[in-house]
Amino acid sequence: MQKLWSLEGEYAIIETFCADHKIPAPMPKIEPETMMQNKQLPNVHLRKEWDLRVRTWFNQPGRKLRRRNARVAKAAKIAPRPLELLRPAVHCPTVKYNRKTRVGRGFTLEELKAAGISAKYAATIGIAVDYRRKNRSEESLAVNTQ
């Protein structure tokens, strides 16, 4: 007589009977606290206060409206000036992109001097100033001072 697994009680009797008659023995019931596989835990009730454990976006339409109203209010408050700073046209770096122009960080001191504006005054009227940039060509200086 060969034992398939060692259990006490009624499963031991069924086990010996099945082994004698050469039939497969039924599997024993496994209680939830003695589960052997990495499966989902049974009987979990996490339905209360689910919104505390989940990031919701129910306030997205309200935020969108608030941001839009803030932009309109800012534009009305600084009415004659533009909303964004005035920025220069600069050439992109590297051989691949240097034929293209893009919006730069700010005007150089030399460009502002050629236009007749001081750097401190330019910052107050909405013109971006970049102290680090240098003019390396007369063409870029002419484009940004006109």
How many C-beta neighbours within 10 Å does residue 106 have? 22
Tens-digit pLDDT profile for residues 44-58: 777 788 888 888 899
In terms of Cα–Cα distance, which of 114, 115, 107, 112 is closest to 132? 107
Tens-digit pLDDT profile for residues 30-85: 565 655 677 776 777 777 888 888 888 999 999 999 999 999 999 899 888 788 89
Rounded Cα gap, residues 51 and 28, in angstroms: 40
Q: Give the pLDDT band of residue 132 (cuts 50, 70, 90).
A: very high
Mean pLDDT, range 81-96, rounded to an integer: 91
Q: Give the pLDDT band of residue 20 (cuts 50, 70, 90).
A: confident
With the CA atoms of 118, 122, 128 and 132 taken in that order, what torsion angle do they form, in degrees rounded to the nearest 10? 20
Question: For residues 108 and 140, is the Cβ–Cβ distance under 8 A?
Answer: no
